[in-house]
Amino acid sequence: MGAGASSEEKHSRELEKKLKADADADARTVKLLLLGAGESGKSTIVKQMKIIHQDGYSKEECLEFIVIIYSNTLQSMMAIVKAMTTLSIGYGDPARQDDARKLLHLADTIDEGTMPKEMSDIISRLWKDSGIQACFDRASEYQLNDSAGYYLNELDRLVAPGYLPTEQGVLRSRVKTTGIIETQLGLKDLNFRLESYSSVYSKNIYLGKTHICNI
């Protein structure tokens, strides 16, 4: 009986110790819920926090953003091309009208996140056109990623062999939030848990002790 009781007491102490450790860890965890409309910058804040407090992105992580950056670049030029018609802006060089048609056709045939030379050449010619630039200057009149100018100005570097996205390139990348994205950051004695929700999920969220950040 004595040995059995001793074993039970040991197990009880270990359980209490674990419960206390879990409680201490929970007390040091700050949960931040990022809420905001689409394109409001929720993902950007998470990336900024990672760069500032987690030594940024590794080479391997940066390479994973290439497909997103290529996709953002193509989407931006397509948005400008379509806005040319909506805003009744003409091309500076009539030949660019044919480039615009080719761009829209290629966009439907290539693998998402790739940038074939034919496409990058077309985008480069379009970006240099005075009509495209005039349309870009009126970006407030249609939906255009705020990273459009950055990527289009850097196009030659983006498609160069061995291209490695910089942290600035990663920070400016845009991808639609689907589902729940969670990032954990350690800062001094606290553990921050950032959660970003898509609008689909944000309607049914149990808040508990979560701190809400409206973006």
Residue set of the binding site for Mg(2+): 43, 177
Specify binding-site residues for GTP: 39-44, 146-147, 171-177
Rounded to whole angstroms, how far apart are CA atoms 75 and 45? 22
CA dihedral over 20, 21, 27, 32, signed as positive or negative = negative
Question: What does each C-alpha distance from 114 to 57, 68, 175, 200 come to in angstroms?
Answer: 22, 9, 15, 29
Specify binding-site residues: 39-44, 146-147, 171-177
Token pair in block for residue 62: 């940066």
Neighbours of 44 (CB within 10 A): 17
Q: What is the C-alpha R_g of the chain?
A: 25
Rounded to whole angstroms, how far apart are CA atoms 147 and 171? 9
